[in-house]
């Protein structure tokens, strides 16, 4: 039975990562904040930024998304290791877009994550972004209008 619980926990944590990507892509910053524990920490060392707590994380993601004309992020599952009510994991990231200043960015990165089980399900307790590859070559394409 414990194997089934471990698998269920891992699936829930992977779904949490997908939910966060969707919330960021849809610019649903309240949903972003709700996916973190109240005392969570999010770090972006490549730009020397750290956000502590849901409100700072929400504001930090909104600030970051506000810099982009358009932004695409793809998340690929990495590992998840569950230990009781906590877990650690990694997610692999590919993202690209164009900033409002006209510059383009494409990068490949990792999220180093810590998760905590709460009464509302698994939440991020810590997330650190590590860029492994960065390219500022101008993107040749253009975003299409969205039709939600």
Per residue in 13-41, pLDDT tens? Answer: 999 999 999 999 999 999 999 999 999 99
Share of the chain above pLDDT 70, in %: 98
Q: Are 75 and 93 in contact (CB under 8 A)?
A: yes
pLDDT on residue 148 = 63
Neighbours of 3 (CB within 10 A): 7
Global pTM value: 0.92
Number of domains in the chain: 1
Residue 140 lies in a domain: no
Return the residue matching tokens 């990068």: 107
Contact 63, 94 (CB under 8 A): no
> Tokens in use for 68?
């982009």
Gap between the Cα atoms of 21 and 72, Å rounded: 10
**Strand 86-99 relative to strand 121-135: parallel, antiparallel, unpaired?**
unpaired
Give the C-alpha separation, 90 to 100, whole Å: 30
Whether 145 is covered by a domain: the verdict is no
User: Residue 90 belongs to what domain range?
Assistant: 2-135
CATH number for 9: 3.10.450.50
């Amino acid at each position: 039975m414990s194997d089934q619980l471990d698998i269920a926990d891992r699936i829930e944590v992977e779904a949490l990562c997908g939910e966060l990507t969707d919330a960021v892509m849809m610019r649903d910053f309240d949903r972003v904040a709700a996916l973190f524990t109240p005392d969570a920490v999010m770090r972006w060392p490549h730009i020397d930024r750290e956000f502590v707590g849901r409100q700072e994380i929400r504001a930090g993601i909104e600030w970051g998304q506000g810099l982009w004309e358009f932004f695409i992020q793809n998340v690929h599952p990495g590992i998840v290791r569950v230990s009781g009510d906590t877990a650690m994991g990694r997610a692999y990231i590919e993202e690209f877009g164009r900033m409002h200043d006209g510059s383009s960015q494409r990068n490949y990165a990792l999220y180093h994550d810590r998760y905590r089980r709460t009464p509302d399900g698994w939440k991020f307790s810590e997330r650190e972004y590590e860029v492994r590859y960065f390219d500022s070559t101008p993107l040749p394409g253009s975003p299409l209008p969205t039709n939600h």
